[in-house]
Amino acid sequence: MLLKLVPEGTNVPFVNARKIAYAFSTLMIIASISLYFTKGLNFGIDFKGGFLIEAHTEQAADLGELRSITGGLGLGEVSLQTFGEDNQILIRIEFQEERSLVEVVDLVQETLDSEYSDNVSFQRTEAVGPKVSGELIESGVLSVLLAVGAVLFYIWIRFEWQFGLGAVIALIHDVILTIGMFSITQLEFNLSIIAAILTIVGYSLND
């Protein structure tokens, strides 16, 4: 005997509430756009520019201890994450007006050598300037626009232009609300988020 979660003959009039849904979605879109222009986004180092350090530890990296140490260096925003193995660390530090890459790297290296419980060696260091960051923003926006345009073109050719327009409206709706959420929460907006937005575009199309 099959378990029926919904009784037979159940009819929920979702379409009757469409005007409420339209009004709510419109309100959320207006709020998201307003937040973007008034509060802005908390751009990460990928977009603001900064210093990148690829480090290696002998044992599994303790990110909590590393964040505690690097957070007290007075370098502003410092982002740490593991990649590949759990002893490989990527350290991102926001751009410093009065310090060069060499000075920042030396400061971090000396501090970790004296305070961290494991040996840390730096494999690679590089600086991402504001100009490069601006190009990354343009590339990110362009990638999203091209994805939306490609979806519209495909559906227009494959089905009818009305379906393509409806799909693109849904995509734009989801993307705008996502950006609005990042604006209100001030979570870090970086290249990984651009990839996530492109994923949202794909899921919106499937829906």
Q: What angle do CA 87, 88, 89 make, to 5 degrees?
A: 115
DSSP annotation of 73 reads S
**What confidence tier does 28 reach under pLDDT thresholds 50, 70, 90?**
very high
Q: Give me the pLDDT at residue 3, please.
A: 64
Phi, psi at 110, each rounded to 5° = -65, -40
Q: What tens digit of pLDDT does each residue of 141-185 get?
A: 787 788 777 877 877 777 777 777 777 788 888 889 999 999 998
Q: By three-state DSSP, how is residue 80 classified? A: strand
- State the pTM of this model: 0.64
Domains of the chain plus CATH, in order, are 18-43+132-206 (no CATH), 50-128 (3.30.70.3400)
End-to-end CA distance of the chain: 31
Q: What tens digit of pLDDT does each residue of 75-118 get?
A: 877 888 887 788 888 888 887 777 788 888 888 888 888 888 77
